[in-house]
Homo-oligomer: A and B are copies of this chain.
């Protein structure tokens, strides 16, 4: 069994990005610039955005944080989005989700210039992914694909079972793993809340991607010997062991599943750390104008 070390790969990616930024600047190019829009003071959002800004510093990106009160109007937020769209120095930006209930998230997402949509949430970028056109793939799926690449996990002709059909993870992963390229080409089965007997599918799987958000859902009896298991779950559960009073739990019962696996991602330290590296990769693509000219 080999542990897939997302933390290590994420740092490695950041070093590679950092080296590329140095080259760009040395040859007279512009410093890549990521902006983040943060609405309100949600604790989780604060933490995520702070980590993104810090990662920008680490790799030599310029970063800008724009804050709005939680009572910002939709019109005001759209004005910010339009300003960011027009700002030529900014290569890409994110609007941290979730937004307050009085704002229609989808309206904000669709107002983002598709060339600066480094979160890959705009429908046009989702469509371009489906149609095999150059695009920004959103953070978690992009991170999982990168782990598969870096660990040279065999995928061609393998049976990949994805559990969960969310817009953010399950659905795009099922699409990406079936694509005709060397890091995919899997036969893909997508399971969800209406699937009868999920175990009957996971038992057949060479690769299992768990993204349903139920702690310790996947147990050893559901997994074939030698399978690759990617755990996307990150549910906070109360814990007396930690200072924060909670612990992150994956969708996989790690202790009993791991011994049967050829590869497995831990939680934390697996898929999680990859999301920030993904965002940085997309921002670099934006700065280099590799997706849109």
Contacts and interface: CB of A to CB of B under 8 A. Distances in A.
Interface in A138-180: 156-157, 165, 167, 171-172, 174-175, 178-180
Contacts of A167: 130-132
Given A122-B127, A126-B127, A178 B190 contact: yes
A102 interface: no
Nearest to A121: B131
Given A123-B133, A126-B131, A130-B126, A165 B187 contact: no
Contacts of A133: 106, 123
Contact of A196 (B124, B128, B131, B187): B187
A192 B189 CA distance: 12
A130 B171 contact: yes
A225 interface: no
A137 interface: no
Nearest to A155: B194
Nearest to A126: B127
B175 A201 contact: no
A27 interface: no
A188 interface: yes
Nearest to A109: B131
User: In this complex, which of A127, A132, A172, A196 has the most chain B Cβ atoms within 10 angstroms of its Cβ?
Assistant: A127
A195 interface: yes
Nearest to A191: B187
A127 to B, nearest CB: 3
A125 interface: yes
A116 B21 CA distance: 42
A262 interface: no
A174 B192 CA distance: 14
A70 interface: no
A180 B192 CA distance: 9
Contacts of A187: 189-192, 194-196, 201
Given A127-B122, A130-B126, A174-B178, A194 B185 contact: yes
A178 B192 contact: yes
B132 A123 contact: no
Nearest to A179: B165
Contact of A157 (B129, B179, B188, B196): B196
Contact of A127 (B130, B188, B190, B195): B130
Q: Considering the complex of A and B, which 8 residue pairs feature the smallest CB-CB distances, nearest first?
A: A127-B127, A123-B127, A126-B127, A189-B189, A187-B195, A185-B194, A124-B124, A157-B196
5 contacts: A125-B127, A171-B175, A171-B178, A187-B189, A189-B189
